[in-house]
């Protein structure tokens, strides 16, 4: 071993193993006084795409660097940002999303320290294992009737509050991380395969998922919570309006009208589709398009049949809109829903608006994604968001979601079901 490199220490605190949504502290010690080094991070997603980031730091007089305290001088980000290396993980291809959707496999991030002066020689390395499931959470694939999904059950006896996670396409990330916090969560995708835009959607299939959750012996909440984003948002609103037993809905950057596909319930059409005008799509230099202005106005007379009658819902709503969402006009949709609820004398909602955040609000500490292939369209789209602010919003919102669901999905002790 060479004299210095064997000495340098790279520590991930409090532990190199943590949950995906927990921050870590990166500390480097035993460098030379004021030594300049580059810290690199890399991670491979579930499709085999490698994402990388790097930042240059100068050690203090004692040869130490602490990412919670010290500013990056240059690289993927500049300034003090303790989790900046994770936020800025980027692939070398444009319009690429970081796929981390399987709960059983941790998000592995490799950190390394390199000597600026000696041809980038590596001085130390460490791997951060970011788990989606804490110890004791169980994962059960479910295929029942007309729906399939994945169920996550926290450790312990319960009773637990129940949440349906309506992901647009199957992802276990948000559901497993919520189960870590003491919720029984069933992740059900809105689209099982490539969406059939010419077809029909049936609210009954999602109602089956709600009924399944309510019957679980571990569930203690009277009703079910629903968490949703994007296309999942209008399905969540429709469940709240037409299906009994929905106590709390988290709606993130969705629409106030039924998007794109006719919605049926009990064999009849309940909501006509709000359509797209492709001539209003705006191209950008990256090859990704802005589709925000291509969606017809849901408040136009001809689109009234697509508006979800949110005033019929008995449960509580948390409306979340990113003001820099380039996918939908989420802010306008929230304002329209709030106006509609007030007009009907309802006050069962709270709304939050986040300036400079984009469409893809996810659990915190994943790589920021500016643009990617749209699941329902066959071209990449811009999601929006100023990256650093967006990342800060994800941290705040994640706490808010948990508080909202805990508050409105109370488990009474009298509600414990007999064990089977």
CB 355 within 8 A of CB 287: no
Q: In sequence order, which ranges of 41-135 are alpha helices (DSSP H)?
A: 84-87
Task: Supply the DSSP symbol for 277.
Answer: -
The structure tokens listed for 284 are 């950008």
CB 271 within 8 A of CB 303: no
The structure tokens listed for 36 are 């300049």
Q: In sequence order, which ranges of 37-92 are alpha helices (DSSP H)?
A: 84-87
- Triad 376, 380, 383: Cα angle to 5°: 90
Q: What are phi and psi for residue 128, nearest 5 degrees?
A: -95, 120
- DSSP per position, 308-369: --GGG--SEEEEEEETT-SSS-HHHHHHHHHHHHHHTT---EEEEEETT--S---STTSPP-
Beta strands in 32-120 (DSSP E): 36-44, 50-58, 65-66, 74-75, 107-115
> Among all residues, which ones are annotated catalytic?
230, 325, 359
In angstroms, the CA 375 to CA 178 distance is 24
Distance of CA 213 to the CA centre of its chain: 22
CB 178 within 8 A of CB 185: yes
Partners of residue 271 on adjacent β-strands: 263
Residue whose tokens read 């999942």: 232
């Amino acid at each position: 071993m060479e004299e210095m490199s064997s000495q340098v220490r790279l520590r991930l605190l409090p532990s190199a193993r943590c949950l995906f949504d927990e921050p870590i502290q990166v500390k480097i010690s035993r460098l030379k006084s004021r030594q300049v080094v580059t810290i690199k991070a890399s991670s491979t997603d579930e499709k085999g795409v490698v994402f990388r980031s790097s930042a240059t730091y100068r050690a203090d007089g004692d040869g130490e660097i602490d990412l919670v305290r010290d500013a990056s001088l240059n690289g993927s980000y500049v300034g003090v940002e303790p989790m900046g290396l994770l936020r800025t993980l980027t692939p070398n291809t444009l319009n690429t999303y970081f796929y981390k959707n399987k709960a059983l496999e941790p998000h592995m991030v490799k950190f390394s320290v390199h000597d600026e002066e000696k041809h980038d020689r590596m001085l130390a390395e460490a791997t951060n294992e970011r788990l989606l499931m804490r110890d004791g959470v169980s994962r059960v694939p479910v295929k029942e009737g007309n729906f399939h999904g994945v169920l996550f059950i926290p450790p312990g006896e319960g009773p637990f509050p129940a949440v349906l996670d309506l992901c647009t396409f199957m992802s276990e990330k948000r559901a497993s991380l919520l189960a870590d916090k003491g919720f029984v969560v069933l992740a059900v995708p809105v689209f099982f395969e490539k969406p059939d835009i010419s077809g029909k959607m049936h609210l009954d299939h999602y109602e089956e998922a709600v009924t399944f959750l309510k019957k679980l012996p571990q569930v203690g909440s009277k009703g079910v919570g629903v968490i949703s984003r994007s296309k999942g948002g209008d399905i969540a609103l429709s469940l709240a309006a037409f299906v009994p037993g929905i106590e709390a809905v988290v709606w993130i950057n969705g629409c106030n009208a039924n998007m794109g596909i006719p919605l049926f319930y009990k064999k009849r059409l309940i909501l006509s589709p709000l359509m797209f005008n492709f001539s209003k799509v705006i191209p950008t230099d990256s090859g990704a398009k802005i589709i925000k202005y291509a969606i017809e106005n849901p408040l136009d007379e001809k689109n009234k049949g697509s508006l979800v009658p949110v005033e019929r819902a008995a449960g509580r709503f948390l409306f979340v809109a990113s003001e820099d969402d380039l996918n939908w006009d989420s802010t306008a949709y929230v304002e329209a829903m709030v106006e509609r609820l007030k007009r009907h004398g309802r006050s069962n909602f709270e709304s939050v608006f986040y300036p400079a955040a984009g469409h893809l609000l996810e659990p915190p500490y994943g790589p920021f994604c500016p643009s990617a292939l749209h699941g329902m369209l066959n071209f990449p789209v811009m999601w929006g968001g100023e990256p650093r602010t967006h990342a800060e919003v994800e941290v705040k919102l994640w706490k808010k979601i948990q508080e909202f669901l805990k508050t409105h999905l109370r488990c009474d002790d009298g509600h414990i079901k007999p064990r089977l």
